[in-house]
Amino acid sequence: MAIKVGDRVPNSTFTVMTSEGPKPKTTDELFKGKKVVLFAVPGAFTPTCHKNHLPGFVQNLAAIKAKGVDTVAVTGVNDVFVMDAWKKASGGDGIEFLADGSAAWAKAVGITADLTERGLGVRSGRYAMVVEDGVVKALNVEDSPGKADVSGAENLLKSL
């Protein structure tokens, strides 16, 4: 069952790239005592994710943070090295890139996309959420992985 507004986020661990290399980052570290915008993509560098979804958050980062958001983060079912390369290639400084390489988080929140027929396996579905101190306050889920409309930064700003 998919997570919904009012639910507490599940306990999980992402992998992030640090100056010392890959390190774990727990959901407690990410969400506890903070207002966080988390958006999820099926895959780094894929067309909609790279050309539409992520750029909207890069362009609107200051406006989102001006609404009292502590952290803006993106997650995808990619390894930490791919997520780090995507951050560098996209000008994503100021956004946390959270690797969910085994789809543990995607499965825990119940928002997945089975893209096996396209050679991509089980990925995250596309969504954006606002989380305050671990509780989902807004959740915008796309009905297709090829769209980034309801989960886009401009639409998310309306939820803040």
Q: Which residues are catalytic?
A: 49
- Residue at 106: amino acid letter: A
Residue partners of 149: CB distance under 8 A and separation at least 6: 142, 155
- Report the alpha-carbon distance of residue 102 to residue 67 in Å, rounded: 32
**Segments in 19-142 forming alpha helices (H):** 27-31, 47-48, 54-59, 61-65, 80-90, 104-109
